[in-house]
Amino acid sequence: MTAAPALKVENLSVEFRTRAGVVRVLEAVDLEVGKGETVALVGESGSGKSVTAFATMGILDPAGRVTSGSAMFGGADLLALPERELAELRGRELSMIFQNPRTALNPIRRVGQQIADVLVRHGGATRAQAPQAAIEMLRRVRIPDPERRARAYPFELSGGMCQRVMIAIALACRPSLLIADEPTTGLDVTTQAVIMDLIGELARESGMATVFITHDLALAAEYCDRIVVMHAGHIVESAPSAQLFAGARHPYTARLLAATPGETDSLQGLQSIPGNLPDLRRTDLPACRYSERCERRKPECVSPLALAKVGERHLVACRFPL
C-alpha cells in the first residue's frame, strides 16, 4: 500500500439531531482503503457502519450532520465537495449497494431501465445504446436470459436476482470504489456465497476497491484482505484478516471472535457479547466507549485515546491491549 489509497477517511464525526437530543453517532472515525483492496467493516447493530458509508457517499439523512473530518477520494475531499459535483461521482466513481435488494430497487420501473438510467446519467451510454448496455451489465452479473430479465420488474425477481441487479446498477459505470452495506443479509446461505463470489470476482477484474459492511466476522475473513472493527461510533481495531483472527488485541474484537464459531457463519453470534452499546445521547461518555462493557476496565480508560500501531498494519484503540 505505498500508492495513494482509493479512499482515506480521517477524523470523521457525525451527529444526528433527534427529538431526544443530539446523538453523536460517529466520533473521529479513520478508515483507509487501498486501491483494489477489500476491507470489511464489522461491528454489532447500531455501531455506525452504515452511517460511515452514507456520510462518505454524501447521502446522509437531512437530520444527520458531518461535524468534522475529511474523506479523500481521487484527490478530492468528498465531505467538502458541493452536492452537484459529488452527485457526478456517485454511481460513476464510487458506488454503493444495500441490504434488502427488493426494496432498494424502484418497484414500478423495469430493472433494465434502472440500469440504463445510471448509464445515461453518467455518459456511460447514449439513450439509444442504454438498453443494450443494460442487458450487457445483466450478463456480467450472470443473470440468465438477460434480454428477458431486463424487461422484468423487481417484484418478478427473487431476492438474489434483485441483488445482482443492484450490483449491475452499482458497477455499470465501472467505479473505482464499491461500498457494499450488508449485501447478503436476508439472502439464503447459498445465494450469499454466490453474491460474495460475484462481487469479489468483478472487483478483481477491474481492480476496484471494496468496503464490505457486515455483522459476520467469518464472512469478512473469508472474502476480505483487512478487517476494521467498529464499536459505538469508534473504530476500535484494524488488521489484516488472518492477523486479526490469529491475535485480536482489542477486548471487543476478542469478544466478537469468541462469538463467531469457526468456519461456519452464525447470525446470532454477535448477540452473545455482554452489555449493550452505550446510549450515544449521553454527555458523559468515556473516551473508550467499550470500557463500561469491558471486564479489563481500569480507571485510566476514561481519558482520551487514539488508534495506535501495535504491529505491521495493525491498529488498536485500547490503553491496555491484549
Ligand X SMILES: Nc1ncnc2c1ncn2[C@@H]1O[C@H](COP(=O)(O)OP(=O)(O)OP(=O)(O)O)[C@@H](O)[C@H]1O
Residues engaged in binding another protein (CB under 8 A): 57, 59, 62, 87-92, 95-96, 98, 100, 103-109, 117-118, 121-122, 153, 155, 166, 169-170
Piece in contact with Mg ion (CB under 5 A), picked from 50-58, 59-67, 82-90, 199-207 = 50-58
Length of the chain: 322
Q: Report the residue closest to ligand X, judged by CB.
A: 50
Query: Is residue 103 part of the contact set for ligand X (CB under 6 A)?
Result: no
Q: Which is nearer to ligand X, 60 or 137 (CB)?
A: 60
Chosen from ligand X, Mg ion, another protein, none, partner binding at 63 (C-beta under 5 to 8 Å by type): ligand X
Q: How far is the CB of 228 from ligand X (least distance, A)?
A: 12
Question: Rounded to whole angstroms, how far apart are CA atoms 49 and 51?
Answer: 6
Buried b (16+ CB within 10 A) or exposed e, 245-258: bebbbbbbbbbbbe
User: Hey, which residues between 54 and 83 contact ligand X (CB under 6 A)?
Assistant: 61, 63-64
Strand, helix or coil for residue 187: coil
Residue in 47, 50, 56, 260 binding Mg ion, rule: CB under 5 A? 50
**Cα 165–Cα 170–Cα 174 angle in degrees, nearest 5:** 120
Region of residue 125 (phi > 0: left; psi between -120 and 50: alpha; otherwise: beta): beta
Query: Is residue 52 part of the contact set for Mg ion (CB under 5 A)?
Result: no
User: Hey, which residues between 198 and 217 contact ligand X (CB under 6 A)?
Assistant: 215
Q: What is the DSSP letter of 141?
A: T
Strand, helix or coil for residue 38: strand
Q: How far is the CB of 29 from ligand X (least distance, A)?
A: 11
Q: Which amino acid is at 165?
A: V
Query: Is residue 214 part of the contact set for Mg ion (CB under 5 A)?
Result: no
